[in-house]
Structures are given as C-alpha cells and as structure tokens.
C-alpha cells in the first residue's frame, strides 16, 4: 500500500472520533478542525511508525490535547471567555439524528471542562478510568468522581430519577 493510501485509510478511521473529541474539548468548531488537521499532519510525517490504528488514535489524541492547551497558553483568554461560548451551529441537529440529541449536546456543552473531557475520553474514545487518569494526570478516584458527576448532571437535566442514578 502506498504512503498516500495508508494515510487516507488512517484519516478515515480516526477522523470522526478525533474530530468529536477536539470539538468537545475546545467547544470551538474552527479550533477543533485546526487541532485535528495539525495532529493528522504530524501523523503523516510519522506514518511509518503508526501501524496500529488504535495506538495511532491515542497518539493523535495526545497531540490534540497538548496543542489545545498550548493554544490557550498563547491566547491567555479571560476566565469568563472559557465558559461564555455560544452553542455552535455544528452541534445543531443533522439529518437522521433523534430530536433529543440536540438537547443532549447542549447539556454536554454546558458541562464544566473538568467533567466534559473525561466523559469524552470514556464515552467517545473508550478509555478506561486508569487510562484517563494517566492521560489527565489525575488519580483514578478523581476521574471516577468527575465522570460520575458529569453523568449525574445529565441525568438530572433529563429527568432520570435522582435516587436511582446515584446508586
């Protein structure tokens, strides 16, 4: 397989999840696209070492995460800017999606970054608590607390019975 085809196959296999991860990390569609593009171009340069798609996805995810942090280091935004973001059109309902998806996206969008990122790593990218703890440099207990609270907030917003949800 030529390098071009190999890269195209890699891009196709990792793009949907990495793009979604970058989007929920940054809550900014344009920044998310830049982060994914930057990560994949580094992937292109290192393609000969990226044989396993799952390992490649982990490597690319870490680039996205690092570049996202660097972006905010460079920008030094006001703390208010981190929270006060408009719900982007990208997250509006697409064809063939259930109506409640848009409402759920708004709820996830409103979660604090501390809760949103571990939830994205677990639900979108399928990482275990131990893996998320290593990625985010947290204890496993802290990760468990954060994903529990993230789900609890979503359950509350969507009327899932509180007593049962907290079991």
Which residues lie near another protein (CB under 8 A)? 4, 7-8, 11-12, 15-17, 19-20, 23-24, 33, 36-37, 40-41, 44-46, 49-55, 58-59, 90-91, 94, 97-98, 100-101, 104-105, 108, 119-120, 122-124, 126, 128-129, 144-145, 147-148, 151, 154-155, 158, 160, 164-165, 167
| Beta carbon of residue 78, minimum distance to another protein (angstroms, whole number) | 27
| Beta carbon of residue 48, minimum distance to another protein (angstroms, whole number) | 9
**Based on CB atoms, which residue is closest to another protein, 74 or 94?**
94
Is residue 28 within 8 Å of 10, Cβ to Cβ?
no
**Based on CB atoms, which residue is closest to another protein, 69 or 160?**
160
**Based on CB atoms, which residue is closest to another protein, 8 or 81?**
8
Is residue 129 within 8 Å of 146, Cβ to Cβ?
no
Give 100's contacts (C-beta < 8 A, 6+ positions apart). 158
Cα(71)–Cα(76) distance, integer angstroms = 8
Residue with tokens 């992937």: 43
**Based on CB atoms, which residue is closest to another protein, 76 or 118?**
118
Q: Which residues of 106-122 are buried (b: 16+ CB within 10 A; e: fewer)?
A: eebbbbeeebbbbbbbb
């Amino acid at each position: 397989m030529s390098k071009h085809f190999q890269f195209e196959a890699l891009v196709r296999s990792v793009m949907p999840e990495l793009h979604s991860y970058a989007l929920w990390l940054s809550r900014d569609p344009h920044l998310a696209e830049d982060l994914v593009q930057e990560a994949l171009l580094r992937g292109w340069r290192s393609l000969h070492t990226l044989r396993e798609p799952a390992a490649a996805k982990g490597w690319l995810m870490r680039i996205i995460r690092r570049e996202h942090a660097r972006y905010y280091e460079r920008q030094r935004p006001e703390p208010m800017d981190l929270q006060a973001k408009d719900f982007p059109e990208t997250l509006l309902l697409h064809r063939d999606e259930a109506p409640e998806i848009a409402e759920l996206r708004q709820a996830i969008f409103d979660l604090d970054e501390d809760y949103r990122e571990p939830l994205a790593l677990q639900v979108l990218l399928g990482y275990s608590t131990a893996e998320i703890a290593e990625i985010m440099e947290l204890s496993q207990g802290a990760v468990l607390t954060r994903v529990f609270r993230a789900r609890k907030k979503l359950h509350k917003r969507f009327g899932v019975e509180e007593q049962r949800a907290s079991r």
